[in-house]
């Protein structure tokens, strides 16, 4: 029979409340922290693995660059020894010297038919190694060896400006100063290239052997 108020009776369901203890909350927090630490650790591990592989590849490229530069240095050294012979011939034979200096005009190709520098030494891999900081994988002695090599390579570039400063001067084009000019060309070439090349070739080989370990 309907109630006097005209409303239906509603059934009230009991509300179940689950009470969680501090141990459960602590366990979840520890799990979250562990997950974050694990994710960071894995990220760091794979990042380091990638960097190590990249460093190994760059060091391989650096070794190949040193092999190439050593070959260039050997060829350049032989070339400059021939230039020395050309200078000596010019100093000893007036007719040959006249080909070099004719009425105040210098023909530099008589002494150096392939230019002052036979080769440009490469340093692309060296610059890449510095940019990517791969030297943390090398011992200090190998790093110092490589720095010494590329510093000496850089000094080779001083040859052309030094020769240019000599040969653009009025005195170098005076035939009365020819013997002095030839001697100065010899001395500049010796100071910047020839004197340091035999030692540099040995350093190249030493560095090539060292990088073979990586």
For 3, which DSSP code?
Answer: -
Task: Give yes or no for a contact between 211 and 59, defined as CB atoms under 8 angstroms apart.
Answer: yes
What was the pLDDT predicted at 35? 77
**Confidence bin at 17 (pLDDT 50/70/90):** low
Q: Which residues of 74-104 are buried (b: 16+ CB within 10 A; e: fewer)?
A: bebbebbeebeebbebbbeeeeebeebbeee
Dump pLDDT digits (tens) for 140-160.
Answer: 999 999 999 999 999 999 999
% of the chain beyond a pLDDT of 70: 84
pLDDT at 14 over 80: no
- Residue 83 tokens read as 């230039």
Task: Give yes or no for a contact between 147 and 129, defined as CB atoms under 8 angstroms apart.
Answer: no
Taking the whole predicted model, whether its pTM rises above 0.85 is answered as: no
**Confidence bin at 111 (pLDDT 50/70/90):** very high
What was the pLDDT predicted at 5? 52
Mean pLDDT of the chain: 86
Q: How far is CA 213 from the centre of its chain?
A: 18
What was the pLDDT predicted at 45? 62
Task: Give yes or no for a contact between 134 and 59, defined as CB atoms under 8 angstroms apart.
Answer: yes
Q: Which of 84, 111, 71 is nearest to 194 (CA)?
A: 84
């Amino acid at each position: 029979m309907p109630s006097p108020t005209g409303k239906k009776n509603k059934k009230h369901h009991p509300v179940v409340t689950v009470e969680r203890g501090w141990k459960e909350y602590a366990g979840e927090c520890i799990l979250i922290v562990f997950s974050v630490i694990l994710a960071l650790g894995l990220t760091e591990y794979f990042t380091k693995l990638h960097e190590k592989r990249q460093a190994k590849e760059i060091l391989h490229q650096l070794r190949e660059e040193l092999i190439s530069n050593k070959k260039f240095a050997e060829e350049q050294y032989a070339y400059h020894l021939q230039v020395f012979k050309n200078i000596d011939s010019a100093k000893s034979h007036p007719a040959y010297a006249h080909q070099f200096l004719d009425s105040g005009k210098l023909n530099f190709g008589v002494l150096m038919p392939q230019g002052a520098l036979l080769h440009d030494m490469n340093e692309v891999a060296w610059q890449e190694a510095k940019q990517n900081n791969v030297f943390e994988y090398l011992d200090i002695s190998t790093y110092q060896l490589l720095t010494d090599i590329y510093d000496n390579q850089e000094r080779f570039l001083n040859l052309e400006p030094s020769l240019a400063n000599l040969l653009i001067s009025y005195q170098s084009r005076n035939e009365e100063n020819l013997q002095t000019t030839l001697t100065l060309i010899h001395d500049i070439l010796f100071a910047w290239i020839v004197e340091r090349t035999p030692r540099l070739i040995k350093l190249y080989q030493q560095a090539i052997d060292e990088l073979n370990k990586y």
